[in-house]
Protein backbone atom coordinates (compact mmCIF):
# COMPACT_ATOMS: atom_id res chain seq x y z
CA UNK A 1 0.00 0.00 0.00
CA UNK A 2 2.80 2.37 0.90
CA UNK A 3 4.56 1.85 -2.42
CA UNK A 4 1.35 2.35 -4.38
CA UNK A 5 0.63 5.60 -2.54
CA UNK A 6 4.07 6.99 -3.32
CA UNK A 7 4.05 5.81 -6.92
CA UNK A 8 0.63 7.35 -7.51
CA UNK A 9 1.67 10.71 -6.13
CA UNK A 10 4.91 10.54 -8.14
CA UNK A 11 2.96 10.00 -11.35
CA UNK A 12 0.65 12.87 -10.47
CA UNK A 13 3.67 15.11 -9.84
CA UNK A 14 5.14 14.17 -13.22
CA UNK A 15 1.93 15.19 -14.98
CA UNK A 16 1.59 18.37 -12.95
CA UNK A 17 5.22 19.35 -13.50
CA UNK A 18 4.86 18.91 -17.24
CA UNK A 19 1.62 20.94 -17.29
CA UNK A 20 2.64 23.85 -15.04
CA UNK A 21 6.26 24.33 -15.91
CA UNK A 22 7.92 26.96 -13.73
CA UNK A 23 10.76 26.47 -11.26
CA UNK A 24 11.06 22.87 -10.10
CA UNK A 25 11.75 23.92 -6.51
CA UNK A 26 8.55 25.96 -6.27
CA UNK A 27 6.33 23.33 -7.91
CA UNK A 28 7.91 20.49 -5.94
CA UNK A 29 7.63 22.31 -2.62
CA UNK A 30 3.99 23.18 -3.20
CA UNK A 31 3.15 19.69 -4.36
CA UNK A 32 4.99 18.06 -1.47
CA UNK A 33 3.13 20.23 1.01
CA UNK A 34 -0.20 19.30 -0.60
CA UNK A 35 0.64 15.57 -0.47
CA UNK A 36 1.71 15.84 3.17
CA UNK A 37 -1.52 17.65 4.07
CA UNK A 38 -3.64 15.14 2.16
CA UNK A 39 -1.94 12.29 4.02
CA UNK A 40 -2.82 13.77 7.40
CA UNK A 41 -6.40 14.46 6.29
CA UNK A 42 -6.79 10.83 5.16
CA UNK A 43 -5.31 9.61 8.44
CA UNK A 44 -7.80 11.68 10.43
CA UNK A 45 -10.75 10.31 8.48
CA UNK A 46 -9.47 6.75 8.85
CA UNK A 47 -9.08 7.10 12.60
CA UNK A 48 -12.56 8.64 12.95
CA UNK A 49 -14.15 5.85 10.92
CA UNK A 50 -12.32 3.19 12.94
CA UNK A 51 -13.38 4.66 16.28
CA UNK A 52 -16.98 5.00 15.07
CA UNK A 53 -17.01 1.34 14.03
CA UNK A 54 -15.52 0.20 17.35
CA UNK A 55 -17.93 2.34 19.36
CA UNK A 56 -20.99 0.37 18.25
Domains identified in the chain, total number: 1
Residue 3 backbone phi and psi in degrees, to 5: -65, -40
User: What does the alpha-carbon distance between residue 19 and residue 13 come to, in Å, rounded to a whole number?
Assistant: 10
**Model pLDDT for residues 1-56, shown as the tens digit of each residue:** 678 888 999 999 999 888 888 888 988 999 999 999 988 888 888 778 887 788 76
Domain coverage including residue 14: 2-54
For residue 55, how many other CB atoms are within 10 A of its CB? Answer: 6
H or E stretch covering 49:
helix 24-54
Q: Are 15 and 31 in contact (CB under 8 A)?
A: no
pTM of the prediction? 0.67
User: What does the alpha-carbon distance between residue 46 and residue 1 come to, in Å, rounded to a whole number?
Assistant: 15
Amino acid sequence: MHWLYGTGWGAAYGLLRRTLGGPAVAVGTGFGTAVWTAGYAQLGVGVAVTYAALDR
